[in-house]
């Protein structure tokens, strides 16, 4: 069984997200019935390829008469110009056409990179996402953000490009490490903070200290997060308004990732820390937000924020965020639980105080 979520935007109204457990056959049926072209492209994370090459990957290959596979090394360092150039070169030499489908299988790194390849090659090829991590399932695979990193900052090169379909099969979560599951949990908690606090009640039903084991509760949580993102993206595809609230905790998180050289902290871990800073900032701006919903999950996060940079230096690094407005830092805060908004900060003292709070809590 699975549930389909329709995604309607000003760009198109035929995109959808399918959420379920053991839905591989639906993916294959969709590819066969939708694309009549002979060629197909598979961009896949190297770890996922090794785990599923004898089963799922072989099924995808069987859909097309000719197929090229691009294996992406795991890790944030793959979101770079070198990998982008390497993959686009393979596709162009393979002789892809504008109608050739690009099937991207993996977590956020592979999804962002593969999506950018699909958006750029021949000025746009059909994109199908098959996310294999919790973080990608609830966040990065949905909404059409693609991109790669630059030395100056994260996700500074990219495009908005909507996938034709996203197939969320919770079966892939069974092979995740505990740390990777907790990484994705950071984005799940974000949705609870900005839009739907019932997510916290659902999470309490799960054994989060253990590896993933399928349950209807897990499926409901993933579907709830996906629906929230779909609702927001449908209203604001290019992040000119309400979609900005999805960045709750992220302006702090991107700095945390950068000072860790994109290796020390996983994205969801950084987002979790960043949300502490955003809640503190909300309080400094006059909105009293209970930290309890974050505190409940803190024991799950073992990473420490160990940086030799001062709060002033960390604040200065936020100036490289792509959401900077007229040189001022734009941050998402909470007026109350489930009510987020974007605000521009001109007095950096409150940002520095928020960094002090993060450092204190995660030292």
pLDDT in tens, 99-137: 999 999 999 999 999 999 999 999 999 999 999 999 999
Instruction: List the helix and strand counts (H, then E) for the chain.
Output: 14, 11
Give all strands (DSSP E) within the chain, no chain letters. Answer: 2-7, 15-20, 39-45, 66-72, 102-106, 127-131, 145-150, 153-160, 165-169, 329-336, 339-345
To the question of pTM greater than 0.85 for the whole model, the response is yes
- Which are the contacts of 217, defined by CB distance < 8 A and separation ≥ 6? 202, 205, 206
The two tokens of residue 18 are 């399918």
Beta strands 329-336 and 145-150: pairing type? unpaired
Q: Is 14 a catalytic residue?
A: no
User: How high does pLDDT run on average in the chain?
Assistant: 93
Residue 87 φ then ψ, to 5° = -70, -45
**Given a cut of 70, is residue 13 above it in pLDDT?**
no
Position 124 scores a pLDDT of 96
Grade residue 34 by pLDDT with cuts at 50, 70 and 90: very high
The two tokens of residue 62 are 């069987």
As a dihedral over the C-alpha atoms of residue 255, residue 260, residue 261, residue 267, rounded to 10 degrees, the angle is -70
Position 187 scores a pLDDT of 97
Task: Give the DSSP per-residue string, 150-194.
Answer: ETTEEEEEEEE---SEEEEEGGGGGG--HHHHHHHHHHHHHHHHH
Residue 61 burial (C-beta neighbours within 10 Å; 0-12, 13-18, 19+): middle
Q: Is 323 a catalytic residue?
A: no
Which of the 8 DSSP states describes residue 31? Answer: H
The two tokens of residue 161 are 């490009």
Coil/strand/helix, residue 222: helix
Contacts 24+ apart (CB under 8 A), 219-222: 219/19, 219/20, 219/21, 219/170, 221/188, 222/19, 222/134, 222/137, 222/138, 222/168, 222/170
Q: What is the spatial distance between Cα 160 and Cα 11, in angstroms, rounded to a whole number?
A: 10
Task: Give the DSSP per-residue string, 98-109.
Answer: TT--EEEEESHH
Position 37 scores a pLDDT of 80
The single residue of 164, 223, 239, 257 carrying the catalytic annotation is: 239
**Given a cut of 80, is residue 327 above it in pLDDT?**
no
Q: What is the spatial distance between Cα 195 and Cα 307, in angstroms, rounded to a whole number?
A: 32
Grade residue 238 by pLDDT with cuts at 50, 70 and 90: confident
pLDDT in tens, 179-209: 999 999 999 999 999 999 999 999 999 989 8
Mean pLDDT, range 76-86, rounded to an integer: 95
Cβ proximity of 172 and 142 under 8 Å: no
Residues of the chain with CATH 1.20.1090.10: 248-361
Coil/strand/helix, residue 328: strand
Mean pLDDT, range 288-307, rounded to an integer: 93
**Given a cut of 60, is residue 337 above it in pLDDT?**
yes
The single residue of 15, 39, 129, 145 carrying the catalytic annotation is: 145
Q: Is 98 a catalytic residue?
A: no
Position 29 scores a pLDDT of 94
Q: The domain at 2-176+212-230 falls in which architecture?
A: 3-Layer(aba) Sandwich (3.40)
Name the nearest CA neighbour of 222 among 115, 341, 137, 334.
137
Mean pLDDT, range 321-344, rounded to an integer: 89
Q: Is 247 a catalytic residue?
A: yes
- Which are the contacts of 33, defined by CB distance < 8 A and separation ≥ 6? none
**Given a cut of 70, is residue 65 above it in pLDDT?**
yes
**Given a cut of 80, is residue 331 above it in pLDDT?**
yes
Residue 62 φ then ψ, to 5° = -70, -15
The single residue of 79, 154, 229, 330 carrying the catalytic annotation is: 229
Position 115 scores a pLDDT of 98
What are the distances in angstroms from CA 57 to CA 29, 49, 54, 71, 104? 14, 7, 7, 12, 11
The two tokens of residue 243 are 């979609």
Coil/strand/helix, residue 263: coil
Residue percentage of the chain with pLDDT more than 90: 82
Position 236 scores a pLDDT of 84
Beta strands 2-7 and 15-20: pairing type? antiparallel
Question: Please, what CATH class does the domain formed by 248-361 belong to?
Answer: mainly alpha
Position 12 scores a pLDDT of 53
Q: Is 129 a catalytic residue?
A: no
Residue 202 burial (C-beta neighbours within 10 Å; 0-12, 13-18, 19+): middle
The single residue of 250, 258, 280, 330 carrying the catalytic annotation is: 250
Which of the 8 DSSP states describes residue 29? Answer: H
Residues of the chain with CATH 3.40.50.1970: 2-176+212-230
Grade residue 151 by pLDDT with cuts at 50, 70 and 90: confident
Q: Is 239 a catalytic residue?
A: yes
Position 17 scores a pLDDT of 94
The single residue of 18, 164, 180, 187 carrying the catalytic annotation is: 187
């Amino acid at each position: 069984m699975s549930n389909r979520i329709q995604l309607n935007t000003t760009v198109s109204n035929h995109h959808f997200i399918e959420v379920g457990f053991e839905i591989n056959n639906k993916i294959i049926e969709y590819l066969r019935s939708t694309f009549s072209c002979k060629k197909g492209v598979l961009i896949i994370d190297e770890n996922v390829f090794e785990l599923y090459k004898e089963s799922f990957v072989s099924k995808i290959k069987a859909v097309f008469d000719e197929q090229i596979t691009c294996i992406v090394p795991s890790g944030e360092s793959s979101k770079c110009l070198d990998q982008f150039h390497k993959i686009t070169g393979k596709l162009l030499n393979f002789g892809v056409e504008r109608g050739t489908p690009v099937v991207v299988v993996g977590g956020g790194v592979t999804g962002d990179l593969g999506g950018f390849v699909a958006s750029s090659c021949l000025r746009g090829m059909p994109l199908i996402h098959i996310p294999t991590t919790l973080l990608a399932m609830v966040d990065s695979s949905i909404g059409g953000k693609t991109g790669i990193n630059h030395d100056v900052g994260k996700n500074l090169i990219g495009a908005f490009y909507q996938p034709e379909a996203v197939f969320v099969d919770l079966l892939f979560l069974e092979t995740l490490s505990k740390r990777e599951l907790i990484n994705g949990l950071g984005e799940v908690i974000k949705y609870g903070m900005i839009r739907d606090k019932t997510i916290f009640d659902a999470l309490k039903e799960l054994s989060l200290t253990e590896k993933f084991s399928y349950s209807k509760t897990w499926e409901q949580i993933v579907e709830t997060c996906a629906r929230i993102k779909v609702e927001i993206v449908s209203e604001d595809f290019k992040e000119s308004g309400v979609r900005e609230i999805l960045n709750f905790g992220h302006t702090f998180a991107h700095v945390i990732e950068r000072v860790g050289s994109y290796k020390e902290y996983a994205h969801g871990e950084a987002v979790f820390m960043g949300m502490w800073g955003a809640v503190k900032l909300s309080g400094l701006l006059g909105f009293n937000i209970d930290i309890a919903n974050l505190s409940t999950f803190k024991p799950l996060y073992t990473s420490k924020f160990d940086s030799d940079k001062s709060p002033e230096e960390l604040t200065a690094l936020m100036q490289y965020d792509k959401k900077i407005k007229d040189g001022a830092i734009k941050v998402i805060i909470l007026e109350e639980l489930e009510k987020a908004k974007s605000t521009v900060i001109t007095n950096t003292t409150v940002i520095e105080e928020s960094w002090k709070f993060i450092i204190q809590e995660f030292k």
